Amino acid sequence: MKIEDIKNICVVGAGNMGHQIALKAALSGYKVTCTDVSEEVLRKAEQFANNYLAERVEKGKLNKEKAEMAREKISFSSSLIDAAEDADYVIEAVIEKIDIKRKIFSQLDEICKPDTILATNSSSIVSSKLADATSRPDKVVNMHFFNPALAMKLVEVVKGPHVSDETAEITMELSRRLEKKPVLLKKEIYGFLVNRILEAINKEALFLLDQGIANAEDIDTAVVNALGHPMGPFTLMDFSGIDLLYHIFMEHYHESQNPADKPSPSIVEKYALGEFGRKTGKGFYDYSK
């Protein structure tokens, strides 16, 4: 397979990451089908696409013709078979739970054409943990976008021991054609590049909060004004989703069995209360107003 053979893309999962990846691919000229088991999530994803394109045109940041082209190229379906059977490249973007991802990859392996590449947008689960759920391990790869996927430039491509050179090269070039800046990891490692660095910052920020040394706002203020970060760790956690962080920490703990990898008390409390950040109106900060 060559990069020119990639014409149809399927995105599995229509949540915040999935629908933005799908829309970015449509804006880049690819025919895209975004699929999800939830009709409500699909409805919201389609509404987002309509609103985003209209707003970009209204603000003069996107011409009308390109917006109309993108809208024609993106579709939404609750049927995984309909979405994936003609796909040349699949990007999975569902919840960070390995059993769910393995089930999806097994289904995709049966549905998709033999040469279709199956990528996961996972921010922590390496593709070697999914590859053996398929009969095409050489075509299973990590392609990790960052939130918000429409705006953030970086994509992490991880070349596990099972991934062919062809798959890695096509994934790198596809990222470029989506107007992203890809980086290639030559070995698998938990958390990849960015999240390993970010996790170290988050763990220390949460430790300082849990110990009562400073509150979330003051820690954020210190990081922004002394280290030059565009936003503090707690603002970023609220933006990314505290539920996502909880699942990532728990997956890591289940793998390592190291108590130090468990989510902090503050994360557990927020998760239990359903205070996931911006998406629920409250996290470490209150967004209800």
- Taking CA atoms, 12 is separated from 6, 18, 80, 84, 102, in Å, by 17, 7, 8, 9, 13
Catalytic residue among 75, 128, 164, 195: 195
Longest dimension (CA), the chain: 56
Sign of CA dihedral 29, 126, 104, 134: positive
Of the candidates 96, 156, 199, 251, the residue annotated as catalytic is 156
Concerning whether 229 is annotated as a catalytic residue, the answer is no
Closest alpha carbon to 231 in 202, 252, 195: 202
Six-digit token string for 103: 């089930």
Local structure of residue 124 (DSSP, 8 states): S
156 assigned to active site: yes
Task: Assess whether 264 carries a catalytic annotation.
Answer: no
Catalytic residue among 8, 19, 142, 144: 144
Which one of 123, 124, 175, 202 is the catalytic residue? 123
Cβ distance 261 to 233 under 8 Å?
Answer: no
> Which residue's structure tokens are 């919840």?
95
CB 210 within 8 A of CB 267: no
Q: Is 124 a catalytic residue?
A: no
Both tokens of 37, joined, read: 């088991």
Positions annotated as catalytic residues are 123, 144, 156, 195
